[in-house]
Chain A
Amino acid sequence: MPNNQLTIALSKGRMQDDALELFARAGIVVEESELKSRKLIIHSADQKYAFILVKPGDVPTYVEYGVADAGICGRDVLLESEADVHEPLDLKFGHCRIAVAGKREVIGQDYNLLATVRVATKYTRIASEYFQQKGVPIEVIPLSGSVELAPLIGLSDRIVDLVETGRTLKENGLDVIEIITESTARLVVNRASFHLKRIEVGELIAKLTAVLQ
């Protein structure tokens, strides 16, 4: 691998398309044939960038360890991982909210009247921190998917989850109780690459900044 090539970790799935589209607008183009291949590492047409496609939650890890120089992931993932990386740009796509939700009948209920609130979530760290700051004791129930199911079948009182349109919640008789924070896609950069590939990282930030404005 040429030394001045930048390796960028992308979240697989929907965010991947948005990210590649943003790169294309910034002049960093990945050929259709490259995209259609089932390769896990793909390259931009000019060979200046290598993209690795990984699970969204793993992007901060790849970047923190420096096996990827940079990455694109949601702020939600970043908050949950607490990875020690630079976060130079808000890429303004992938907008969603991290919210506390529950069954309609518990909305407006005072947390302090409950001994402990059971909260099912994929975001155990964000949930713990949020309720800790409010001074509400909670029991976190870590789940890796179908979090909306938890209150329906009595596993938890509340959930903390990503909300985009709120439709999934509504269809399951749930509603947003509080918004914890908003999230959009972020460019993250490894702390060492930031210095060792200063020119290349600077160029990437400049290109993306130009199309974001």
Chain B
Amino acid sequence: MSSLTKIPAGVQYFFDDEVRLRRSVEACAMRVFAGWSYDEIILPIFDYHDLFARGMGAEKAEATYRFVDRDGALLALRPELTSLVARTVATRFLKRERPIRLCYSGEVFRYDDPAERAAREFHQLGVEHIGEPNIVADIEVLLVAAEVLTTLGLTGFRIALSHVDFFSGVADFLKLDAETRMQLRQLIDRRNSLALSQFLQTVAPQIEQERRDDFCRLTQIAGKEDAIQRAREILLNEKSRAAVEHLAHIYSTLVALGLGDNFDIDLGDTGGQEYYTGLVFKVFVPGLGVEVGSGGRYDNLISNFGRSEPAVGFSFALDGLVAAIAAQRQAFRPDAEAPQPIVVNGDLSAAFGKARELRQQQKQVKISAQ
């Protein structure tokens, strides 16, 4: 070791108020999850590397910290929790009634971001809703996510909704191969309208320019009912249309619940992660330049573990929630009472007797030896 003070890049130590805040944010989220009947599952910190490769794909599993077991098997620190939940459900919960609702809170470890500053350890809080293919489950998890933010006192948050079939419908329609599909995905993701328009001109010269331009505008900026309406007008393929109608249905329900302000329709979100199959969403909170959470439907993931069933879920980054609370400087503070001081001078049994009495009344005590 070069120095006792040196800390590996990307790890963190927390103490004092920071710990109290983090723990109370965690407890708050877990209470909300429990309120919607999600049962907590405690998962192992490491498992076989192969499990994560099966779950989120070989590429994602490359970002894991790996080491070998005594028998030479390759192990990995968990880079995410969904694969562990999916495997458990597909193997050990075969006989349980569906849907299954599970929630978790725990650290994951990744070194995918080459940036020096990037964290390697992340605390995630999330839920998985398994066995329900219906829109009901999509709306349920969105409401759970929104309630966590509201309960934390975070105002002005936005949850941007999209659907992977919107993009893949367009890509299928244009008969794109894997590589051009990836290019289109990147252009849409960067909201690069000029490059997108030039790209479409090359791959889809048969489509009239006006319609291509409409598509560029549609993916360039998020919207509300207007985005749904514009999408309906310009889409030519069934898959994308069905995706937009699914979003419209979710969105109108959220509006009816008075949550219209907190949700956007963002057809420029192409889903990102390969394993998503339906609704996808990202959560943004004022004061924070990055998303604090994300989620979506992943109906094919569990089949990688031998049983095909639909699922939808999301996770929050605890660091993000804590930073957002700090940025909004609002009153979410852990309840801390000043401890009762107990001075021990001479009579040990009297002093500790007093302390024990206060403890029986659930009071916080602090012993000081004179």
Contacts and interface: CB of A to CB of B under 8 A. Distances in A.
Interface of A: 3, 64-67, 86-90, 189-196, 198, 201-202, 205, 209
B289 A192 contact: yes
A205 B194 contact: no
Contacts of A89: 193-194
A192 to B, nearest CB: 4
Nearest to A197: B286
Given A189-B191, A196-B284, A205-B221, 12 more contacts: A64-B289, A65-B289, A86-B190, A88-B220, A89-B193, A190-B289, A191-B284, A192-B291, A195-B158, A195-B284, A196-B156, A198-B221
Contacts of B264: 195, 198
Name the 7 nearest CB pairs between A and B, nearest first: A66-B289, A86-B191, A195-B158, A88-B191, A192-B284, A87-B190, A90-B194
Interface string B175-214: 0000000000000001111110000000000000000000
Nearest to B290: A192
Interface of B: 156, 158, 160, 190-195, 220-223, 264, 266, 282, 284-286, 288-291
B160 A195 contact: yes
A196 B193 contact: no
A37 B290 CA distance: 33
A209 B217 CA distance: 11
B328 to A, nearest CB: 11
Contacts of B220: 88, 205
A209 B286 CA distance: 26
A87 B222 contact: no
Contacts of B195: 90
B284 A88 contact: no
Contact of A198 (B190, B192, B222, B288): B222
Nearest to B192: A87
A196 B286 contact: yes
A116 B251 CA distance: 57
Given A191-B291, A193-B289, A205-B220, A87 B191 contact: yes
A191 B289 contact: yes
Contacts of B160: 195
Contact of A201 (B192, B221, B266, B286): B221
B158 to A, nearest CB: 4
Nearest to A209: B193
Contacts of B266: 195
B284 to A, nearest CB: 4
With a 10 A CB-CB cut-off, give which of A67, A88, A89, A209 has the most chain B CB atoms: A88
Given A86-B190, A88-B192, A89-B193, A195 B222 contact: yes
Nearest to A92: B194
Which has the most chain B C-beta neighbours within 10 Å: A192, A201, A205? A192
